Amino acid sequence: MEIQENISLRPYNTFGIDVKAKYLTSVDRVEQLENLKEKFPDERILFLGEGSNVLFLNDFDGIVVRNEIKGIQVVQQTDEYEIWDIAGGEHWHDVVELSVKQNLSGIENLALIPGKAGTAPVQNIGAYGREIKDVLISCEAFDLTNGRYRVFSNEECQFGYRDSLFKRPENKNRYFIYRIRLRLIPNGTPETGYRALQQYFTENHIDKPSIKDVFDAVVHIRRSKLPDPAEIGNAGSFFKNPVVDAGKFKALISAYPSMAYYKISDDSYKIPAAWLIDNAGWKGYREGDAGVHHKQALVLVNYGRATGRDIYRLSQKIIDDIKEKYGLELEREVQIIGRY
Ligand code: FAD
Ligand code: EPU
């Protein structure tokens, strides 16, 4: 297990923030974690996948552990379903591509989400009408506080919208997810209800979309509006979409009749934060090298030399403005590492 010292994390976070870690290592076997606490009893530990959902505010005074554990295994294969065990360090999109090639349904809507497979349960990744919780049977984690291995069933993961047990402050950097188990459906019927997908299929005259059609549609839509971190630093949606009750919804929609929304239930509506931020005039706004993307107002970007604090400061201005204009409190989706 190689350990590097005093190393820049810039290549390891998609915002491209240039902070340093005291130590950096990666594991390709979960057993390597067993020695880590012994070797570094007093160091803070940070788990890192591909750094596509983090914002570093300062240097990290501790040890950063990257997940490079590889391997995909088909555990069970029947006509009705296939069960796959996927090592946490696999690149998520590669897993999606492989499943689509085999005409298995379940994760085709989650194409092109950056990051490692082992991180997917942390915020219950979701897109275009699907979340990982819809197909995840369980995940296996190593508990750094007591050196024990533990299996979490889907229910035990306590999934919610961009949320799970692993995201709670007391569990962060405690359970290292090294393997996930998914249930995929051979030749299954794909989920096509999301509005942008429907629009794509109408425009392309596709009546009965296949699993591959859904994958292609998601890839096309995402490429057309989300910035590629290889070109411009970002971590996807910076904020969660707020959920409001019927009373608040009525007040908002009468004040802003053109506001986009999704009805979840009679007393629960999800309001796209992108619409709120866009309508408040922030789209394309730039302050030094920190900015709001010009095609997707929910994505904050680093044009080159922004610091984590620059991005954070901008995010706070947006939160304050949205609160003042609409009386809604935006919550950051991106994981903030360090202190402002
Ligand atoms: P990291 O950023 O490395 O880590 C994220 C958090 O998980 C950190 O708190 C970290 O400490 C913790 N963590 C990392 N590895 C482990 C582990 N093995 N065990 C336990 N905890 C761990 N997300 C969506 O849900 N839907 C989208 O559509 C979407 N689109 C995106 C588009 C772009 C362009 C970008 C840049 C990001 C997008 N994201 C999206 C966010 C991101 O891709 C996901 O959150 C992804 O799962 C993060 O994976 P990662 O390996 O990069 O995690
Ligand atoms: N919109 C605007 N202005 C914009 C962008 C969008 O008004 O600049 C409006 C759109 O017209 C649409 C609505 O906002 O009516 C929603 O936009 P979009 O479909 O692009 O989705 P989103 O709510 O911005 C969410 C997820 C994404 C996920 C997509 C697709 C959250 C926080 N974000 O984005 O996830 O890929 O839906 O399902 O839930 C991520 O988590 O990092 C992420 C990218």
| Predicted pLDDT of residue 280 | 97
The pLDDT value given to residue 208: 95
**Does the annotation mark 333 as catalytic?**
yes
Q: What is the pLDDT of residues 195-245, one digit of tens each?
A: 999 999 999 999 999 999 999 999 999 999 999 999 999 999 999 999 999
Going by pLDDT thresholds of 50, 70 and 90, the confidence category of residue 331 is very high
Q: Three-class SS of residue 313?
A: helix
Pocket test residue of 224, 237, 239, 330 for ligand 2, highest count of atoms within 8 A of CB: 237
* Active-site choice (162, 164, 179, 315): 162
β-sheet bridge partners, residue 143:
148, 175
> Is ligand 2 within 6 A of the CB of residue 236?
yes
Given a contact cutoff of 8 angstroms between Cβ atoms, the answer to whether 324 and 276 are in contact is no
SS (HEC) of 162-183: CECHHHCCCCCCCEEEEEEEEE
Distance, CA of 228 to CA of 31 (rounded, Å): 34
- Residue spans of the domains in the chain: they are 4-67, 72-186, 233-337
- Find the catalytic residue in 52, 105, 164, 237: 237
CA distance 178 to 175: 9
Residues 270/241, Cβ–Cβ less than 8 Å: yes
How do residues 3-17 score in pLDDT, each as one tens digit? 999 999 999 999 999
| 264 pLDDT tier (thresholds 50, 70, 90) | very high
pLDDT tens by residue, 117-137: 999 999 999 999 999 999 999
CATH of region 233-337, choose from 3.40.630.40, 3.90.1150.10, 3.90.78.10, 3.60.15.10: 3.90.78.10
| CA-based nearest residue to 189, from 115, 129, 141, 268 | 129
Distance 303 CA to ligand 1 centre (A): 21
pLDDT tens for residues 68-117?
999 999 999 999 999 999 999 999 999 999 999 999 999 999 999 999 99
Rounded-to-10 torsion of CA 69, 72, 75, 80: 140
Q: Which CATH architecture has domain 4-67?
A: 2-Layer Sandwich (3.30)
The finding on whether 123 has its CB within 6 A of some atom of ligand 1 is yes
- Which atom of ligand 1 is found nearest the CA of 127? 28
Q: Is the entire prediction scored with pTM above 0.95? A: yes
CATH 1.10.3720.10 fits 72-186, yes or no: no
Give the DSSP H/E element, type plus range, for residue 249.
helix 246-255
Asked whether 210 and 187 are in contact (CB, 8 A), the reply is: no
